[in-house]
């Protein structure tokens, strides 16, 4: 009798990653949920509804944590869509990268001005057109620029978003001069729910911990790769390389040409 042997190392690893994801996601959702339930109980059982000011304050806190849950779920859905590997996950159409970058700056304008930061565009090929999903490219640039701003609220931060064409394809970078990332953390920051600072209170948590996982998955879905380097306090640079076949020749029309 011949027994068929199967190497299950990869399957085991995938299963472990899935289990970790479920455990981490449950943990991340449990805390804001517990906070909402706590305030809800206080409101209903403590008869606080008569005290309108307190009730309003509690409702606002509950709203904040509710929005946090919604953000985590939204990010998890984006990741699971990207990881499904289904052919129709990406809606590939021609678009200009510049329109995504301008969108991102516009969406973050109030944060940029409140923090006294600056975001500069360094476009060596300003009108470059890509074949890709514009939604995900906007998300990629948004997450990278927002991270730089989020991690450096106290510093007069300078962020640069740029791209240039090389033989290896299009190089796209987001660089900032903020606090940076210690080299011991760099290998892990693209992992789901990984954060450099280990927060002790809910108030300090600034993001879902999923931003860079989304960035990496979205870049890989476009056949690109992403790298990071950081000299804390000087320069933190995320660099994406997109293969030449994703760059479209000039000439044909692009839906967002007017953008």
Which residues of this chain interact with ligand ADP, rule CB under 6 A? 143, 147-148, 150-151, 176, 178-181, 189, 194-197, 206-213, 236
Looking at the Cβ atoms of 82 and 210, the one nearer to ligand ADP is: 210
- CA gap 90, 68 in Å, rounded: 26
State in angstroms the smallest separation of the CB of 52 from ligand ADP. Answer: 35
Nearest 10 degrees: Cα torsion 186, 190, 193, 195: 20
* Rounded Cα distance, 143 and 137, in Å: 10
In the complex, least distance from residue 179 CB atom to ligand ADP, rounded to whole angstroms: 6
Select 68 or 96, whichever has its Cβ closest to ligand ADP: 68
Q: Write the CA distances from 128 to 100, 218, 243, 251, 254, integer angstroms.
A: 12, 19, 13, 11, 11
Please tell me the distance from the alpha carbon of residue 152 to that of residue 139, in angstroms, as a whole number.
20
Tell me how far, at minimum, the Cβ of 232 lies from ligand ADP, in Å.
Answer: 8
Closest CB to ligand ADP among residues 138, 151: 151
User: Strand order of the sheet with strand 129-132?
Assistant: 93-96, 129-132, 247-248
Indicate the residue among 141 and 179 with the shorter CB distance to ligand ADP.
179
CB of 162 to ligand ADP, least distance (A): 15
CA 144 to chain CA centroid, Å, is 7
Closest approach of Cβ 22 to ligand ADP, in Å? 18
Q: Which is nearer to ligand ADP, 61 or 186 (CB)?
A: 186
């Amino acid at each position: 009798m011949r027994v068929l042997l199967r190497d299950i190392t990869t399957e085991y690893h995938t299963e472990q990653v899935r289990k970790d994801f479920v455990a981490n996601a449950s943990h991340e959702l449990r805390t804001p949920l517990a906070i909402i339930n706590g305030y809800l109980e206080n409101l209903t059982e403590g008869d606080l509804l008569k005290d309108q000011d307190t009730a309003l304050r509690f409702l606002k806190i509950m709203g904040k944590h509710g929005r946090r849950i919604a953000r985590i779920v939204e990010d998890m859905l984006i990741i699971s869509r990207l990881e499904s590997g289904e052919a129709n996950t990406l809606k590939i159409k021609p678009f200009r990268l510049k329109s995504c970058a301008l969108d991102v700056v516009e969406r973050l304008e109030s944060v940029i001005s409140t923090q006294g930061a600056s975001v500069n565009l360094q476009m060596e090929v300003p009108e470059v057109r890509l074949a890709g999903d514009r939604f995900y490219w906007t998300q990629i640039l948004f997450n990278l620029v927002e991270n730089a701003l989020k991690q450096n609220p106290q510093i007069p931060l300078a962020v640069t978003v740029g791209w240039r064409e090389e033989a290896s394809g299009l190089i796209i970078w987001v660089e900032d001069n903020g606090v940076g990332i210690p080299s011991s953390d760099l290998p892990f920051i693209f992992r789901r729910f990984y954060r450099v600072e280990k927060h002790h209170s809910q108030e300090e948590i600034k993001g879902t911990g999923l931003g860079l996982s989304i960035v990496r998955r979205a870049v890989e879905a476009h056949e690109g790769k992403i790298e990071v380097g950081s000299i804390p306090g000087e320069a933190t640079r995320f660099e994406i390389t997109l293969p030449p076949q994703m760059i479209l020749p000039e000439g044909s029309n692009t839906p967002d040409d007017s953008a």
